[in-house]
Structure 1
């Protein structure tokens, strides 16, 4: 079934069919409805490459996911949930999604820019990509509309979208302080990534505000995965003056710290309070259930798509209408892993 056959059965020209399917004003509502109804009945699907050439639009957004983190990301429940949220937001806005990679390009540094031009993409969403990624820097320096979720980059048409990481970390520390804890340690994520650096900044800011001492030994690095949280927990609990509470910058690390406490014969939360960040599904499944700072993944995806649409509506020659970061609020979810200091 092609457009000529659909036109013949509709009793109109191919131009009228094209206008009807593309919501052009030159076609009456009655004719438009009749053509669309017949298209559905006959199983007609437009030739997308041809439509792209004619309309100079593909209705497709590219997705950049740090190539060095792709394999690990497949085991990261928060990133998988965020990817699903982006896909849902794009679908609701009638956009398609295309994953971009740097493999097989003539100029590796310009790989993303080349892919955008080759596929006539409308814009790009970047997920948790390090700021030193050369391909990302080349993309940000171009005129391609880019929205980065937890990605720090600057360019003529770039917008950053992020949860309020610092405020979420502050809320976690305040919660532990209100429970009576004064020796509060933290397990960080990789500090070259903006979310990890911001959560550490929020932790430190809360400790200063509350008058809490933070020895260097109370700040231990992790990688957002369970094993690093378990190793950090063992290290913290082996100190001469161990913490009575741990704030981990990711739920998997928090669960790892809980494992370390169990291995040391300690009870959570009686002997050690633990708070995480993200609110992945596993946070409510472990026992005791994990107190955590919840991120709104759906709102993050919607904010990224909205930022792209604002740039597209403004046109290629206009400045970004809202260059300020789009910040999504977080909320503290109190469960069983945090309790009063004994």
Structure 2
């Protein structure tokens, strides 16, 4: 079944069929509905590559994920949840999703921009990718609309979406301080990533405001995964004056710190209070359940898609070469969930 056959059976021209299927105003509502109904009955599906050439639109958005660390990212439950949220938001906006793989390191001519041009992608969502990636810099400098989630890349047509990482970290420290803790350590994520740096900044800001000393050894860098959290917990709890509370910049690292405490027969939260960040599913399943700063994955995905659509659909009053998108990020609020790992009497 092709458009010519559908036109023949509908008794109209192929141009009328095309206009009807694309909701053009030149076709009456009755004719549009009759053609759509017949197309559905006959199983007609438009030739998407052909439509793309005619309309110069693909209705497809590219996704760049973790810049060469996709395999590691597949083990990060928060990133998987965020990917699902982005996919759902794009689907609800009638866009397709294409995952862009990292260009080969041994091919200096390969780039994300080439992939965007080749597949006629309308825009790109960049997910937690370091800003020092060469191919990403080329993309950000182009005229391709890009929305980044928790990444610091900037360009003439880019916008950033982020959770309120610093405020979330501050809330965690304030909560531990309210419980009476004065020796509060932190396990950070990789500090070249904006979320990790922002959570560390929030931790330091809260400690300074509350008059809490932060010895250098109380700040230990991890990688957002469980093993690094356990190693950091081992290191912190071996100090001559160990912390009585730990704020970890990711839930997996917080759970690792709880494992380190268990290995020393320390009780959580009686001997050590722990607060994480993200609110992955496992946070509510461990015992004691993990207090955490919850990120709203659905809201992040929707905000990224809305920001990108704003670039795609917004009024273009100046030439693209002169138009600059504001670098001010769109911030999604976080909220503190108090559970057993920091609840008095738990």
- TM-score bracket relative to the smaller structure: over 0.9
Of residues 308, 327, 333, the one that matches 1:329 is 333
Query: Residue 22 of structure 1 aligns with which residue?
Result: 22
Q: How has the CA–CA distance of structure 1 residues 194 and 225 changed in structure 2, closer, same or farther, with 3 Å as cutoff? A: same
* Native 8 Å contact 1:102 1:108 kept in 2: no
2:279/2:292 contact within 8 Å kept: yes
Closer, same or farther: CA 240–102 of 1 in aligned 2, 3 Å: closer
* Residues 94-105 of structure 1 aligned to structure 2 (within 5 Å): 94-103=94-103
Q: Which digits, 9 at most, give the CA deviation of each residue in 1:263-320, with x for residues without a partner?
A: 0000111111000000000001001110000001111111111111111113472735
Structure 1 counterpart of 2:66? 66
- The structural deviation recorded for 1:24 is 0.7
- Indicate the SS of the match to 2:257: helix
Match runs of 1:37-186 below 5 Å = 37-103=37-103, 108=108, 111-186=111-186
305-314 or 138-147, larger mean C-alpha shift: 305-314
How many aligned residue pairs are there? 342
Query: 8 Å contact 1:179–1:341 — kept in the other structure?
Result: no
Give the SS at the match of 1:61: strand
TM-score by length of 2: 0.96
* Unmatched tracts of structure 1, length 5 or more: none
- Aligned partners of 2:253 and 2:278: how far apart in 1? 11
Q: Name the CA shift for 1:267/1:102 in 2 (closer, same or farther; >3 Å).
A: closer
TM superposition shift of 1:107:
5.8
- Residue 310 (structure 2) aligns with: 310
1:252 aligns with 2:252: yes
* Equivalent residues of 2:104, 2:110 under 8 A apart: no
- The gaps in structure 2 that reach 5 residues or longer are none
CA distance in 1, matches of 2:222, 2:300: 24
CA RMSD of aligned residues (A): 1.7
| Cα distance in 2, alignment partners of residues 246 and 200 from structure 1 | 13
Worse overlay, 102-111 or 138-147: 102-111
Shift of 1:223: 0.2
Alignment match, 1:190: 190
Q: Return the TM-score normalized by structure 1.
A: 0.97
